[in-house]
Structure formats: C-alpha cells, structure tokens
Amino acid sequence: MLVPVLETNYVLSTGPNSIDGSAVRCLKGYSNTAIGLCAADITKDILRNSQRVKSVSTLVQGHHDICHEIFLSLPCTIGENGVTQVIRMRITEHEKKMLHNSADIVYNIQKDITPT
C-alpha cells in the first residue's frame, strides 16, 4: 500500500528567484533511486570482477600529494576485491590546488568528530 508523503516546504533562498524544497524535488527528482542504482551497479561490478572504471570514494592519502587520511571520489577500477586500482589522472596545477583545498576542508571537518 502506498502511503502519501506530506510535502514540507523549505525556503532555500529569499527574493524574487526564491525556490522551496518541494520545487527542488520536482525539478531534480528522487535521489534515492539514483543511489540505489549506483549501489547495484557497483555491486554487479564487484560480483563479476569487471575491472570497470567508476568514480568512487576511496582513501586518497598519497594520491596527488594529499597527506591527510581521508576519502574522496576518484576514478578507480572495481573488481572482486572492491577498488583494485586508483586511476592516476593528469591534472593541472590549478586543479591540484582545488583538490588539495577540498581535501583540507574535508579533513578539517572530520578531525574534530569523535567516535561515540
């Protein structure tokens, strides 16, 4: 039996171009379907040992001179043991600087999180 979902409107911005949360959902669609499809696709690649390249979260310490122990999405080959190889991409100095900035932001947020 389908249960109706009550729409809760969240205002994302104010002004003449403001948009509420229900409008975003209508424009974007449901993300849970996409997440389920991605998980199924990755699982299929693991079970079939496909060695296909996918962008997945992996430990990036040591890649592109990142020294923090953090996980970010990088292109990786996926096989029966999960991530079997991280694909080394050529990136410009500007892209490397932006990647390091992202890594620093993630690291600075997670370093203050204590396990419960």
pLDDT tens by residue, 38-86? 999 999 999 999 999 999 999 999 999 999 999 999 999 999 999 999 9
Distance of CA 5 to the CA centre of its chain: 27
- Kindly report the pTM of this predicted structure: 0.65
8 Å CB contact between 75 and 89: yes
* Strand pairing report for 52-59 and 82-86: unpaired
Say what the pLDDT of residue 23 is.
62
Query: Which residue has tokens 């390249």?
Result: 53
Summarize the confidence of residues 16-38 as an average pLDDT: 68
DSSP string over 49-74: T--EEEEEEEE-TTGGG--S--EEEE
Task: Inform me whether the pLDDT recorded for 19 exceeds 70.
Answer: no
Asked if residues 64 and 99 have their Cβ atoms less than 8 Å apart, the reply is yes
Give the per-residue pLDDT at 113: 85
pLDDT of residue 33: 83
Distances (CA, A) of 46 to 37, 76, 85: 14, 12, 13
Q: What is the CATH number of domain 48-116?
A: 3.90.110.10
3-state SS, residue 11? strand
Residue with the larger pLDDT of the pair 95 and 33: 95
pLDDT exceeds 70 at position 6: no
Where do the domains of the chain lie?
9-45, 48-116
Binned at pLDDT 50, 70 and 90, residue 22 comes out as low
pLDDT at 25: 60
The pLDDT value given to residue 5: 44
